[in-house]
Amino acid sequence: MTAIACPRPLPRALSLAVTFAAASLCVACGSLDGIWPGANSARNPGVAKEGQTDAEKIVRNPLTAGELDCPDVEIDEGGASARVGGPDNAAVRYQFDINTTARECDPLSDTAFSLKVGVSGHLLIGPAGKPGSYSTGLRVIVHDEVAKKDAFSKVYKIEANADNGAGAPFTFVTDPIELPMTRTELADDYTLTVGFDNGKSEPAAPKPHKPRAAKTPAAKAPAPD
């Protein structure tokens, strides 16, 4: 699937909870902090039992969500909108638009993690449309960059009710998707893509994955004479 990252001129990463409440009209990527209380909090660390030796008291704390490099959500090229009606604006009945995207990675064990993907947007009623409830399909794809194949792909039904005739917002969050994990750098192992299905029978081939650049440590200032 050919995908595009969230456009640069648009808002920076935002919490899905805050962004949805604000009903932003621009596409942005963010995290799901605040949607599920405590979802990103540290898990209980291992506790040494009374009577153990010093060697036995050395325990390994479980991974936390903050230690995972969760992949950003990309939007499928041509999948940011779903329009129904003729090619001319006057013939448009209704149109779904993606405004914001978000994701959350939570470790389940040393070898697996849970992923949630969220999307918010707006339903617009066109000149040829009328008030009512409308729906469309949203495809969510998790591509395994190591195995070079899709680890998950599903089309979800998105609905919105525009009884007032002006339009209506919509929000959607997937159920947890369980995936294998071999390291914490998940952004190098997986690509997340969302987009309105728009009647596609098969998603387009994904574009080459570009690993995130390694952070370069700041140079030290020279010592004073």
| pLDDT at res. 51 | 62
DSSP 31-50: E-TTTSTTTTSPPPPP-PPT
Residues 6+ apart with CB under 8 A from 88: none
The string of pLDDT tens digits covering residues 63-114 is 899 999 999 999 999 999 999 998 889 999 999 999 999 999 999 999 999 9
Question: 53 falls in which pLDDT band (50, 70, 90)?
Answer: low
Q: CA torsion sign, 177 to 181 to 184 to 188? A: negative
Sign, CA torsion 51/53/56/59:
positive
156-199 confidence digits (pLDDT tens): 999 999 988 789 999 999 999 999 999 999 999 999 999 999 76
Contact 93, 83 (CB under 8 A): no
Give the pTM: 0.67
> What distance lies between CA 93 and its chain's CA centroid?
28
Which residue bears the tokens 């994904």? 206
Residue partners of 31: CB distance under 8 A and separation at least 6: 13, 15, 16, 40, 70, 102, 103, 104
What is the side-by-side strand order in the sheet with 3-4? 3-4, 73-76, 190-196, 132-144, 149-162
* Domain range list for the chain: 3-39+61-196
pLDDT at 210 over 80: no
Nearest residue to 75 via CA among 32, 33, 121, 113: 121
Higher pLDDT, 61 or 79: 79
How does 96-120 read in b/e, with b if 16+ C-beta sit within 10 Å? Answer: bbbbbbbbbbbbeeeeebbbbbbbb
Give, for 150, the enclosing helix (H) or strand (E).
strand 149-162
